[in-house]
Amino acid sequence: MTDLPDHMSPTRSFQGLILALHNYWADKGCAVLQPYDMEVGAGTFHPATTLRALGPKPWKAAYVQPSRRPSDGRYGENPNRLQHYYQYQVILKPNPSNLQELYLGSLKAIGLDPLLHDVRFVEDDWESPTLGAWGLGWECWCDGMEVSQFTYFQQVCGIECSPVAGELTYGLERLAMYVQGVDNVYELNFNGREGEEKISYGDVFLQAEQEYSRHNFEFADTAMLHRHFIDAEKECQALLAAGAPGASANQMLHKCVFPAYDQCIKASHVFNLLDARGVISVTERQSYILRVRTLAKACGEAFLLTDAGGINFGSEAA
Amino acid sequence: MPDLLLELRSEEIPARMQRKAAGDLKKLVTDALVEAGLTYEGAREYWTPRRLTLDVRGLTARSADQREEIKGPSTKAPEQAVQGFLRKAGLSSVAEAQVVSDPKKGDFYLAVLSRPGRAAEEVIAAVMPGIIRNFPWPKSMRWGAASMPKGARFGGVDGKGSESLRWVRPLQSIVCVFGPEHDETQVIPFEIDGLVAGNVTYGHRFHAPEPITVRRFDDYVTSLEKAKVMLDAERRKDVILHDSRDLAFANGLELVEDEGLLEEVSGLVEWPHVLMGEFEQDYLEIPTEIIRLTIKTNQKCFVARLQGEERLSNRFILVSNIEAKDGGKEIIHGNGKVVRARLSDAKHFWTRDQGNLPDLQELEASAKTFALDLKKPLDQRMAKLDALNVTFHAKLGTQGQRVARIRSLAAKLAEMIHADAKLVDRAVVLAKADLRTEAVGEFPELQGLMGRRYAALQGEDASVAAAVEDHYKPQGPSDRVPDDKVSITVALADKLDTLTGFWAIDEKPTGSKDPYALRRAALGVVRILLECNVRLNLLPVLQAAMPGDAGAPTVSPMSVEGSEKAQALADNSYINETFPVVDPSARTVEDLLSFFHDRLKVYLRDQGARHDIIDAVLTPEADDLLMVARRAEALTAFITSEEGRNLLAGTKRAVQLLAAEEKKGTVVADGVSEELLKLDAEKALWSAIKAASGEATEAIAKEDFRSAMEALAKLRAPVDRFFEDVLVNDEDTAVRANRLALLKAIREATATVADFSKIAG
């Protein structure tokens, strides 16, 4: 780390921060994955977390996930709120016994010295009603600011986790604003260069924030979104049925889980868009959440019937 | 006598759970040791965010030998019974049992089991795993390789699936050392899920990550202190409190103390270090309470006021867990940024709440219902609350309907209490409006207080603004009671509506369950009536307030708005049923009145009243609680005077004699015959009774209990003399009957004031 040029430093550039985390977690044995190529509300939705958290097979992965929260759009006018932002996600299964130490090591790697900054683990239990998931853990505070979420998954897709996975989620923009000492997200230095060569976060995303805010709140076609929700729900169920064990002779495994799960993700994002457009009433809201959860549960159960889900885990070990 | 040191070190335990968990650990361990036949001199528990510690002193080294006899069946009993006995006693054959002869039952088996005492180490090793496995955490979790499925192995650890150890957060190490005070101690190495108890712990996460070997409590505490861990939470609290006060004082400020926050913060740090940060003066235009709550709830920091003033300063006090290399500059800088961002949000709410809502034309119907002026921000919020049909309770309708009920009840009460009807009405329609403000959406505990602020800002009458806040008061035994008549009226109407509503749908408090805080509401009514000297006959008021009685409101068809605020406001269930069938019967009202009586008793007892005196004055139909209290007061004063004590003794004697006669079936006449009065003492008593009961009755009618007692006090001397000079059991039956009638007259006369038979002594 020490021989990095200034513009690569995690305290000078947004991408430097991401690269430092990639280096750190790659060194700890994680598969460094790329973002999932679909719209999701949080890094947890990436199948590398949701599905891989299930079943007995050990797993270690780290990746950046662009996350979309349509109702958080502020037309680029709020210095802290974005409808599209980045999460850095790490999942370690089973969680190693020194996961807290590993996490603190990652903070050091991005320039936060725990003898200079007050790092604290403050109770915060995590729950995702749409994924049927919950876990216990903390908000990790650095000088009073929440910089990460630290969770020991107990249940995902309504299924008890065995083993338990540890999940770390870093809010990258917030962390970068902190280490760069910037108060407005759009002023973040993205590429670490100065003067003419500098690319800021605003250069990359400001226009997109304005346009997507219009889309999310004003322009999105709600009738079409309703149809898409229903289509995704049906397709998810159809794919799960088509790939189910026993659909053909001697078939023990489920043969179509990842594609079905994509439809579940899609339904979830469409629901978020409908919600941002303000066309979902309070009572309807509950029922939408329940419908997505039902899909997630079915996908989780199907995943356990696959190789990655560990259906052959015992026999492999033997 | 040996001591035991136990430490369970884990990842960060939620602050709110630490104190109770340490207490549970002490109770579970000491109970188990005593159960196993050991005794101890003392035990004390400690906790930090990362450890629960127990220090047990003066344990007995061994439990005593125990002998137990188990009686078996007769030697002639069937084989099955004999087998059952052997199993129960743990014997392998009858040869191991003794045969005992009994003259009545014949020969029977007896098992004599002797259990040799056990060493304390052995007991501890045996009980600890169970205590840890079944520890009563409010929420617990599994973790790591041990949570692999059974049969699987990872990193050298066997999977135990759902049976793997649960703890509040991963448990990392256990210290268990045992031994005499001045000698070598030893480790008791019990094992649980691969974790073996030892004598090694760790200090502060950042300042002292090296292992520490411990021998007993004394060196454990000293070593931890050196490793920047302050074990005793009370000491941490003390350090935080004093350092914060000092730091504030040195800056010309005064700490705003907050016990709840202090307790929480002491559970977030092992090595407290107090620092001071600041924010821009501009934010001080936000109400003090919002600033304090924003900084407390979100940042867990204290605020400070200017010395000798109510005004807050622009400083805040934070407690860090490290002594930073730069003296805390970075920490102060970082916390300041977050506090500023939070205050900026708060300022945003505060400003928006004073502005217009969109779509005002949709609120016109609601505005008309409640006579609201849609030009005013708080009026708009009330109209919105009504228009949204936000549920108050599924069976009690919407918030709007509730306000309508309170409004009609308040109008009736205003007349009785002589409060200004117009101001009361205005206060009622604004009382719940702040539930629609963003500030209350963010900090629900600010309800009422924010309403008052916004009411004052839009130029409401001072009593109206005060009532918007004070109608929630008093909230409990030590909260302030409102003193303005408008506030009193709205506060009573609000509480009585809640109580009659929940009584009507039969959702009364049971045992320790009181989810709608109905006991607190009834106590509030009692306190207002008594402390503000409000005369009110509750029965007709309760009858009138009971929903379903007259013109029961019906719920209009569902109309739903997709706002997230609507959801935040209520339990987000919208009702689509008509108003429920309620029980308007007199019994419900009586039952509620007796609930008030119970609260009144509790209240008067807390004020030091004797419960026998309360019982003596409280009749089931008494519905003017102020009068009950006055009567109890007067009676207490009387009963503790010498006159009163003697009259009580005399009256009790009369009552006892009468009771004995009445038990025998003697009918005691109601009138006294003056011709049959022979002795002076009789004659004097009779004329005293006539005079006293006349005076007492008159005084009671005027509710002048003191004079009534004084009138009765005049009976004391004649009663005493009567019992000295007169023998009730005269040979002449007519005289005797007349004397009994005289005794009855004493009882009747005192009963005008209270039932003396219920008073002790």
What are the strands, taking DSSP E only, across B517-674? none
| Cis amide prior to B2 (ω within 30 degrees) | no
* pLDDT (0 to 100) of residue B333: 93
Residue A181 DSSP one-character state? T
A166 chain-B contacts, CB cut-off 8 A: 143
With CB atoms and an 8 Å threshold, state whether A97 touches B170: yes
Domain membership flag for residue B218:
yes
Instruction: Please tell me which residue of chain A has the smallest CA distance to B300.
Output: A144
Mean pLDDT, contiguous 10-residue spans, chain B (761 residues): 96 96 97 94 97 96 86 86 87 85 84 88 96 95 94 90 94 96 92 94 96 96 97 98 97 95 96 96 92 92 93 96 95 93 87 89 93 96 88 84 95 94 97 92 88 96 97 91 96 96 91 89 96 93 76 36 36 35 69 95 91 90 92 88 85 87 84 87 91 89 86 88 87 89 89 84 67
Q: Identify any residues that bridge with B158 across adjacent strands, giving them in sequence order.
A: B153
* Residue B35: CB atoms within 10 Å: 11
State phi, psi for B120 to the nearest 5 degrees.
-55, -40
B154 chain-A contacts, CB cut-off 8 A: 58, 94, 163
Q: Are residues B519 and B548 in the same domain?
A: yes
With CB atoms and an 8 Å threshold, state whether B143 touches A121: no
Is the distance from CB of A195 to CB of A189 less than 8 angstroms? Answer: no
Instruction: Please tell me which residue of chain B has the smallest CA distance to A146.
Output: B338
CB contact residues (below 8 A), chain A span 43-72, against chain B: 56, 58
Using alpha carbons, select from B556, B578, B580, B571 the residue that is nearest to residue B386: B556
Q: Which of A161, A164, A222, A312 to mutate to test the interface with B (most CBs of B within 10 A)?
A: A164
Is the distance from CB of B485 to CB of B420 less than 8 angstroms? Answer: yes
Domain membership flag for residue B455:
yes
Q: Is A141 on the interface with B (CB under 8 A)?
A: no
Six-digit token pair at B130?
């169970």
With CB atoms and an 8 Å threshold, state whether A121 touches B12: yes
- DSSP-derived pairing of the beta strands A133-142 and A126-128: antiparallel
With CB atoms and an 8 Å threshold, state whether A116 touches B326: yes
Q: Are residues B73 and B58 in the same domain?
A: no
Closest Cα of chain A to B319: distance in Å? Answer: 9
Domain membership flag for residue B633:
no
Six-digit token pair at B459?
């130029």
With CB atoms and an 8 Å threshold, state whether A144 touches B16: no
- DSSP-derived pairing of the beta strands A31-32 and A59-68: parallel
For B630-685, write each residue's pLDDT tens digit. 989 888 888 888 888 888 888 888 888 888 888 888 888 888 888 888 888 999 99
With CB atoms and an 8 Å threshold, state whether B318 touches A122: no
Residue type (1 letter), B234: E
Burial B587-606 (b: 16+ CB within 10 A, else e): ebbeebbebbbebbbbbbee
With CB atoms and an 8 Å threshold, state whether B144 touches A136: no
Using alpha carbons, select from B63, B52, B204, B207 the residue that is nearest to residue B126: B63
Domain membership flag for residue B635:
no
Q: Are residues B370 and B507 in the same domain?
A: yes
Please state the pTM of the whole predicted model: 0.76
Cα–Cα distance for residue pair A149/B428, rounded to 1 Å = 44
Three-state DSSP at A158 gives coil
Handedness of CA A212, A213, A217, A219 (dihedral sign): negative
Instruction: Please tell me which residue of chain B has the smallest CA distance to A180.
Output: B334
| Run of H or E residues at A168 | strand A166-171
Q: Are residues B542 and B397 in the same domain?
A: yes
Instruction: State the residue for tokens 């409401």.
Output: B460
Instruction: Give residue B433's domain range.
Output: 363-606
Q: Are residues B268 and B164 in the same domain?
A: no
Question: Based on the number of CB atoms within 10 Å of its own CB, is A218 exposed (0-12), middle (13-18) or buried (19 or more)?
Answer: exposed
Q: Are residues B485 and B569 in the same domain?
A: yes
Q: Which of A136, A140, A217, A273 to mutate to test the interface with B (most CBs of B within 10 A)?
A: A136
Q: Are residues B142 and B31 in the same domain?
A: yes
Closest Cα of chain B to A238: distance in Å? Answer: 31
B207 chain-A contacts, CB cut-off 8 A: 115
| Cis amide prior to B377 (ω within 30 degrees) | no
First to last CA, chain A: 42
Six-digit token pair at B475?
């909230």
Q: Are residues B679 and B537 in the same domain?
A: no
Cα–Cα distance for residue pair B602/B611, rounded to 1 Å = 9
Burial B514-545 (b: 16+ CB within 10 A, else e): eebebbbbbbbbbbbbbbbebebebbebbbbb
Closest Cα of chain A to B378: distance in Å? Answer: 24
Q: Closest to B331 (Cβ–Cβ): which among A94, A143, A279?
A: A143
Six-digit token pair at B532?
């503000």
Residue type (1 letter), B703: E
* pLDDT (0 to 100) of residue B91: 85
pLDDT averaged over every residue in chain A: 93
Q: Closest to A280 (Cβ–Cβ): which among B168, B321, B562?
A: B562
B15 chain-A contacts, CB cut-off 8 A: 123
Q: Closest to A164 (Cβ–Cβ): which among B143, B268, B334?
A: B143
Domain membership flag for residue B343:
yes
Domain membership flag for residue B358:
no
CB contact residues (below 8 A), chain B span 42-81, against chain A: 49
Using alpha carbons, select from B563, B412, B543, B545 the residue that is nearest to residue B489: B412
Cα–Cα distance for residue pair A88/A109, rounded to 1 Å = 14
Cα–Cα distance for residue pair B44/B28, rounded to 1 Å = 13
Query: How big is chain A, counted in residues?
Result: 318
CB contact residues (below 8 A), chain A span 151-170, against chain B: 152, 154, 160-164, 166
Q: Are residues B437 and B517 in the same domain?
A: yes
Number of domains in chain B: 5
With CB atoms and an 8 Å threshold, state whether B334 touches A160: no
A138 chain-B contacts, CB cut-off 8 A: 12
Report the percentage of chain B scoring pLDDT > 90: 58
Q: Which of A93, A121, A222 to mutate to test the interface with B (most CBs of B within 10 A)?
A: A121
- Spell out the residues 6+ positions from residue B735 whose beta carbon is closer than 8 angstroms to its own: B676, B678
Q: Are residues B213 and B242 in the same domain?
A: no
B339 chain-A contacts, CB cut-off 8 A: 144
| Cis amide prior to A94 (ω within 30 degrees) | yes
Low-confidence ranges of chain A (pLDDT < 70): 1-2, 247, 281-283, 314-318
The number of angstroms, rounded, from the C-alpha of B410 to the middle of its chain's C-alpha atoms is 29
A167 chain-B contacts, CB cut-off 8 A: none
CATH number, domain of B721, equals: 1.10.730.10
Six-digit token pair at B315?
């400083």
Q: Are residues B96 and B218 in the same domain?
A: no
Is the distance from CB of B454 to CB of B487 less than 8 angstroms? Answer: no
Q: Is B556 on the interface with A (CB under 8 A)?
A: no
CB contact residues (below 8 A), chain A span 173-192, against chain B: 178, 183
Q: Are residues B382 and B498 in the same domain?
A: yes
Q: Closest to A154 (Cβ–Cβ): which among B141, B146, B153?
A: B141
* pLDDT (0 to 100) of residue B179: 93
Domain membership flag for residue B320:
yes
Domain membership flag for residue B616:
no
* Residue A100: CB atoms within 10 Å: 21
Q: Is B93 on the interface with A (CB under 8 A)?
A: no
Q: Closest to B147 (Cβ–Cβ): which among A100, A162, A283?
A: A162
Instruction: Please tell me which residue of chain B has the smallest CA distance to A284.
Output: B562
Cα B758 to Cα B594, B615, B616, B637, B751, distances in angstroms: 19, 7, 5, 16, 11
* pLDDT (0 to 100) of residue B64: 85
Closest Cα of chain A to B512: distance in Å? Answer: 28
Instruction: Please tell me which residue of chain A has the smallest CA distance to B565.
Output: A282
Handedness of CA B372, B373, B377, B383 (dihedral sign): positive
| Cis amide prior to B553 (ω within 30 degrees) | no
Last residue of a domain, one of B323, B352, B381: B352
Last residue of a domain, one of B115, B149, B180: B115
Q: Is B151 on the interface with A (CB under 8 A)?
A: yes
With CB atoms and an 8 Å threshold, state whether B337 touches A97: no
CB contact residues (below 8 A), chain A span 275-294, against chain B: 278-286
* Residue A6: CB atoms within 10 Å: 12
Cα B170 to Cα B25, B145, B149, B229, B562, distances in angstroms: 17, 11, 18, 20, 41
With CB atoms and an 8 Å threshold, state whether B560 touches A281: yes
Instruction: Please tell me which residue of chain A has the smallest CA distance to B149.
Output: A162
Six-digit token pair at B159?
């999977």
Q: Is B489 on the interface with A (CB under 8 A)?
A: no
Handedness of CA B448, B451, B456, B457 (dihedral sign): positive
B330 chain-A contacts, CB cut-off 8 A: 116-117, 143
Last residue of a domain, one of B582, B606, B630: B606
Closest Cα of chain A to B336: distance in Å? Answer: 9
Six-digit token pair at A16?
């430097």
Q: Closest to A95 (Cβ–Cβ): which among B144, B300, B334?
A: B144
Six-digit token pair at B480?
């302030």
A159 chain-B contacts, CB cut-off 8 A: none
Counted across chains A and B, CB pairs separated by less than 8 A come out at 150
Cα–Cα distance for residue pair B726/B740, rounded to 1 Å = 12
Q: Is B161 on the interface with A (CB under 8 A)?
A: yes
* pLDDT (0 to 100) of residue B559: 34
Using alpha carbons, select from A300, A313, A308 the residue that is nearest to residue A44: A300
First to last CA, chain B: 51
